[in-house]
Chain A
């Protein structure tokens, strides 16, 4: 074939529902594949650590249903990567179960369903460290230590194109991937049909966030990418959106530190010499991309470690004198918690909205607080009971802070609730590292089954 067309209806499947109207315009345009990424590390470490989704189940199933029905109607493959936000094994199983249920409900089939896992046992990582293959840190992080590994609750490895390609070779019509590079989901399809790596990975790069590469701004609308041996064309499917040189080049920068390079398992997409041109009113054409194969295969690892159980309290402040002395109020509440629980084994985090709750130390305006403050207090401790009491102490003691010149001696804080609220446990990103592998498939077991 001379060209291959893929439509992408959603940049983070499940996080918000796709918009069906532009999706169906895309389906009518006759794509060869329907694909979407469902993962993100933007959502913080808690879903990975806790093995949950941050997306509601109904929204995930909605998008899978719309996509599966179109895929089966057209008879073209459907590919999902990084199932259920995190791409852990439980999220892959969740999506595989949804596909089976949707197929049964609509009496679809028969078709071949394939899936692969990306979760990684800590002991595999430990064996690499002990075998003399260091786990190298990304973004300035030092090498991973065994102590950090021990403090990690769950790890996923970032798959490249390889498990997707393996499942396509096995004739799968529907593929649910564990954690994987966004661009690999789309690139795998293009490589499967013999298109060159540079164009294939660029196709994935430009499609992975759906309509974020179009203008005017509007998420969750479908875009279509068409690859040839020399270029990639990208077209907005929503009648009110266009893919322009500005919107596509602008998207090359989105949520990445450099607009010039994209690293995947097995190499790097080099966009330094990309040339963007306007093909039609709604289609941009990109040429000049390159792909540089990696000298050593290194898989990116993401890991989350548990910090503790967590409760949250809320306090308001209106007295200007108290606002000016809010740090002393907070220190009072911390001191009361120290007296109760000792110097460590717990933590309190205060976000002072109206001063610098959003930006913390980065805020140039942090010395000019507003006329009222909202203080969000997070109390963290090893058990839920203790976390509740830490949060309660850290919140309620703001009421009793002893400021020398305060006029209001009947209470130093306003409470919208007389309780603290349970929250998900607190986690921390413990792994943002890479690990050497001999075979790009070694961490990603594939499975297939016949449905219908």
Chain B
């Protein structure tokens, strides 16, 4: 027992989401999709405040001006956000031309399911 009673209501986003992915959206942006299996989990994560524009900017250490889109997409039970790359995809030194491995930090985002 941890004594606080709160830690039990904390889950990693990876445990809650069906899909967590990243991909280029054109040459200048990377887009992130977090998709849930059922409406209840989707609504709960939205309510928790674990995924907000401020939180994702802090997670990736980016200036909020780089975040171009942040939407909750009800038909897919999904949260989606997009930010501008520093350099276009495939510029010399870019380590991820497709933008496909940029989602990893989202896996460990902590969600308070008791919220």
* Chain A interface residues (CB < 8 Å from chain B): 41-46, 138-141, 245-246, 249-250, 252-260, 274-276, 302, 307, 310, 347, 349-351, 357-365, 378, 380, 426-429, 432
Contact = CB atoms under 8 A, between A and B. Distances in A.
11 contacts: A139-B27, A246-B76, A253-B33, A255-B23, A259-B76, A275-B75, A302-B27, A347-B92, A362-B62, A364-B59, A378-B93
A364 B75 contact: no
B35 interface: yes
B78 A253 contact: yes
A51 B69 CA distance: 33
Nearest to B96: A358
Given A254-B23, A255-B24, A140 B68 contact: yes
A429 B37 CA distance: 37
Contacts, number: 143
B43 to A, nearest CB: 15
Nearest to A359: B102
Interface string B25-61: 1111101010101000000000000000000000111
Contacts of B101: 358-359
A400 B94 CA distance: 26
A432 B93 CA distance: 20
Contacts of A245: 75
A139 B68 contact: yes
A257 B23 contact: no
A139 B28 contact: yes
A255 B37 CA distance: 20
A246 B41 CA distance: 14
Given A255-B25, A380-B92, A364 B73 contact: no
Contacts of B88: 45, 428-429, 432
Given A250-B19, A253-B73, A360 B59 contact: no
Contacts of B28: 138-141, 429, 432
B76 A257 contact: no
B71 interface: yes
A42 B76 contact: no
A350 to B, nearest CB: 8
A9 B106 CA distance: 32
Interface in B57-115: 59-62, 68-69, 71, 73, 75-78, 80, 82, 84, 86-98, 101-102, 104-105
Q: How large is the interface on B (under 10, 10 to 19, 20 to 34, 35 or more residues)?
A: 35 or more
Given A254-B33, A362-B105, 14 more contacts: A44-B94, A138-B28, A141-B28, A249-B76, A257-B69, A258-B71, A258-B82, A307-B91, A310-B92, A350-B93, A359-B95, A362-B102, A426-B92, A428-B88
Contacts of A249: 73, 75-76, 78
Given A141-B28, A274-B75, A362 B61 contact: yes
Those 9 A-B pairs whose CB atoms lie nearest each other, nearest first: A44-B90, A349-B93, A429-B88, A249-B76, A249-B75, A257-B82, A139-B28, A429-B27, A426-B92
B71 A429 contact: no
Nearest to A360: B95
Contacts of A360: 86, 93, 95
Contacts of B91: 45, 307, 426, 428-429
B69 A246 contact: no
B60 A256 contact: no
Contacts of B29: 139, 257
Given A259-B76, A349-B92, A364 B60 contact: yes
Contacts of B96: 358-359
B27 A307 contact: no
Contacts of A274: 75
A45 B28 CA distance: 12
Contacts of A140: 28, 68, 84
A157 to B, nearest CB: 15
A190 to B, nearest CB: 23
Contacts of B23: 42, 254-255
Contacts of A43: 90, 97-98
A147 B68 CA distance: 27
A309 to B, nearest CB: 11
A45 B27 contact: yes
A257 B75 CA distance: 16
Contacts of B78: 249-250, 253, 259
Nearest to A49: B90
B114 to A, nearest CB: 25
B68 A361 contact: no
Residue among B59, B98, B101 with the highest chain A CB neighbour number at 10 A: B98
A252 B68 contact: no
B92 A139 contact: no
B73 A351 contact: no
A44 to B, nearest CB: 2
A258 B102 contact: no
Given A249-B73, A357-B95, A359-B96, A257 B60 contact: no
B27 A256 contact: no
B34 to A, nearest CB: 10
Residue among A249, A252, A256, A358 with the highest chain B CB neighbour number at 10 A: A256
